[in-house]
A and B are shown apart, each in its own frame.
Chain A
Amino acid sequence: MEQSGASLLERDLAKLIVQTLKLKIDPAAIEPEAALFGEGLGLDSIDALELSLAISQTYGYQLKSSDPQIKTIFSSLRALAEAIEKNRTK
């Protein structure tokens, strides 16, 4: 599978996810629109926590689950990248 039309940030983020969560997959195999949690990559809330720390350190964006958009933000690589783009401080 190829990341059709993945942006640079999406590709960097895919690498960060794979590295942080030690997933045994090629970052390029994460489809930008596919689900990250539950059935998709099978990630859980501990992964979300680990990922939030990595995102905060890398992009200076602190995720909040009280954010009304949180479900959407974590729905796919693309949605997460968009949220980071909008909120990043580094």
Chain B
Amino acid sequence: MREIPLIGHYDVDDVLAWDQEGPRTVRRFLADAASLAESLPDRSTVLNLATNRYDFLVGFAAAIMRRQMTLLPQSRASQTLLRIAGEFSGSYALTDRGDAIEGIDSVSIQLRGDQALWPMDIPRIPTDRVVAVAFTSGSTGRPMPNKKTWGALTAVAQATGARLGIKAGDRLSVVATVPHQHMFGLEASVMLPIMHGLAMHAGRPLFPADIRSMLADAASRWMLVTTPLHLRACVSESISIPPGGLILSATAPLPRNLAQQAEEHFQAEVHEIFGFAEAGSIAERRTIDGDRWQPLEGVHVAQDASSCLVQAWYLPTPVPVPDRITVDTDGTFVVHGREADQVNVAGHRISLGDLNQLLLKIDGVQDGVFFLPEEGASLVTRLMAFVVAPGKTSEEIQRTLRAYVDPVFMPRPLVCVPSLPRNATGKLPRESVSELARQWLEREGDGA
């Protein structure tokens, strides 16, 4: 079986990560990971909940060394974590802030950096080993596991780097606003750097001023891994950063005029990745060049009458694309929008069916439906929900719901109604919900 080293294109004294506490060299990282690996419990799966990117990487590497699969929950909502831990029994949680997750054994990530372990070899990992499991929301109301082999993660990192023109020895400094537990975050802010000898910032900036100071601190040419939301905030604040960097955006389509503004203002190329948790990153484009997506090396997108499938050597079976796309004869494709059941809020994708199921499980809720209104002027358009729950207040339902869903999917507002406009067959057509939302917004005003 083919093996690929845990990290590539570094010298032992190269900086692998940095933050306000200083640089972490490759030597230090390997010692931290080996030392943590020795202290991990003997289990087969681990929920890595570290908020610091370096801690996360140390935990991920230690788990790989111990042949443990890292579970990547879509959210930290307590019920989501418990459900995943229930499906992968014997799971424990790795945390880096002393957080304890009720109902799940937790181990705190200790960075011992035991120098005595040096010299050590960089571990080589078989490409067919499952190292991570990403979860997606299906229509069943249960998180669906998507297993990722070391071969898949490294192949995507190599193909992405090749497409962006990143060469070994470029030593880019990577700052990311995306969480490393998300598929794009794992691929672009963790795997891409460690396969190309790049340095990553251990933090996760939120405000434009944070992004500016981290990029200004970068010891070499910077790369910003981000989303349309954060990029819009940076452009709107006109932050000033050293020119000549590289911006990589994903999770939602980036409007071309925003990409144009960012390219001009930051003197940086803006590239986008198209992907989804089931297949990982599959295509790239420089946004100002046009709508067409160019599949990554090794990826083939095939269209038949009813669906589009992604094929790659590292995917065990072809994976359906969750968006409506049209594939050209040269293999490039255009994305038209989401499949009907899927919504994207602030870069997080979820199935409306899944959300509706969660709503119906709440005690006292007789009927309920989520709805995503047309985009407005704010950075993010939030979901609404209409609920039939006599005797319950919307605050009570919201409080319960908060334990089950990521905060971005919390409905604003959650409206209690006497009944939903179901048709004779009991179905709830989208048009009827849309009309309900329109009437409600008209009555209540849009708040602005």
Interface set of A (CB-CB < 8 Å, partner B): 18-24, 42, 44-46, 48-50, 52-53, 56, 62-66
**Contact (Cβ within 8 A) A19 B448:** yes
**Contact (Cβ within 8 A) A42 B413:** no
**Contact (Cβ within 8 A) A64 B229:** no
Q: Given A62-B209, A65-B205, 13 more contacts at CB 8 Å?
A: A20-B378, A23-B412, A23-B447, A24-B412, A42-B407, A44-B407, A46-B380, A46-B408, A48-B206, A49-B229, A53-B379, A64-B210, A64-B213
Residues of chain A lying within 8 A (CB to CB) of residue B382: 22
Bound-state CA distance A50–B448 (Å) is 14
State whether A49 and B233 are in contact (beta carbons under 8 Å apart), knowing that A22-B378, A23-B447, A24-B413 are contacts in the complex.
Answer: yes
Shortest beta-carbon distance from B435 to chain A in Å: 20
Bound-state CA distance A21–B448 (Å) is 9
Residues of chain A lying within 8 A (CB to CB) of residue B203: 66
**Contact (Cβ within 8 A) B444 A24:** yes
Residues of chain B lying within 8 A (CB to CB) of residue A52: 206-208, 233
**Contact (Cβ within 8 A) B408 A22:** no
The yes or no answer to B20 lying at the interface (CB within 8 A) is yes
Residues of chain B lying within 8 A (CB to CB) of residue A56: 208, 237
Bound-state CA distance A49–B213 (Å) is 16
Bound-state CA distance A62–B238 (Å) is 11
The 5 closest A-B pairs by CB, nearest first: A44-B407, A22-B447, A62-B209, A64-B209, A52-B207
Shortest beta-carbon distance from B212 to chain A in Å: 9
The yes or no answer to B419 lying at the interface (CB within 8 A) is no
**Contact (Cβ within 8 A) A53 B236:** yes
Contact of A49 among B379, B398, B402, B410 (CB under 8 A): B379
Bound-state CA distance A46–B398 (Å) is 18
**Contact (Cβ within 8 A) A49 B230:** yes
Bound-state CA distance A75–B30 (Å) is 39
The yes or no answer to B346 lying at the interface (CB within 8 A) is yes
The yes or no answer to B374 lying at the interface (CB within 8 A) is no
Residues of chain A lying within 8 A (CB to CB) of residue B402: 42
**Contact (Cβ within 8 A) B398 A66:** no
State whether A50 and B378 are in contact (beta carbons under 8 Å apart), knowing that A22-B412, A42-B398 are contacts in the complex.
Answer: yes
Shortest beta-carbon distance from A73 to chain B in Å: 11
**Contact (Cβ within 8 A) A44 B207:** no
Shortest beta-carbon distance from A24 to chain B in Å: 5
Bound-state CA distance A18–B232 (Å) is 21
Secondary structure type dominating chain B contacts: loop
Bound-state CA distance A56–B209 (Å) is 10
Bound-state CA distance A49–B230 (Å) is 8
Bound-state CA distance A24–B384 (Å) is 12
Write 24 A-B pairs (CB below 8 A) sorted by A numbering.
A18-B447, A20-B378, A21-B378, A22-B382, A22-B448, A44-B407, A46-B229, A46-B408, A48-B206, A49-B206, A49-B230, A50-B378, A50-B380, A52-B206, A52-B207, A52-B208, A52-B233, A53-B233, A53-B236, A53-B237, A56-B208, A63-B207, A65-B210, A66-B203
Shortest beta-carbon distance from A14 to chain B in Å: 14
The yes or no answer to B442 lying at the interface (CB within 8 A) is no
Which residue of chain B lies nearest to A18 when distances are taken between CB atoms in the complex? Answer: B447
State whether A62 and B207 are in contact (beta carbons under 8 Å apart), knowing that A23-B447, A49-B379 are contacts in the complex.
Answer: yes
**Contact (Cβ within 8 A) A62 B208:** yes
**Contact (Cβ within 8 A) A66 B210:** yes
Bound-state CA distance A77–B90 (Å) is 43
Residues of chain B lying within 8 A (CB to CB) of residue A44: 407-408, 410
Shortest beta-carbon distance from A62 to chain B in Å: 4
**Contact (Cβ within 8 A) A42 B207:** no
Residues of chain B lying within 8 A (CB to CB) of residue A49: 206-207, 229-230, 233, 379
Bound-state CA distance A62–B207 (Å) is 8
Shortest beta-carbon distance from A72 to chain B in Å: 16
Most A CB within 10 A of own CB, among B203, B379, B410: B379
The yes or no answer to B289 lying at the interface (CB within 8 A) is no
Bound-state CA distance A42–B413 (Å) is 12
Q: Which of B121-172 contact A (CB under 8 A)?
A: none
Bound-state CA distance A52–B210 (Å) is 12
Mark each residue of chain B from 12 to 49: 1 if its CB lies under 8 Å from any CB of chain A, else 0. Answer: 00000000100000000000000000000000000000
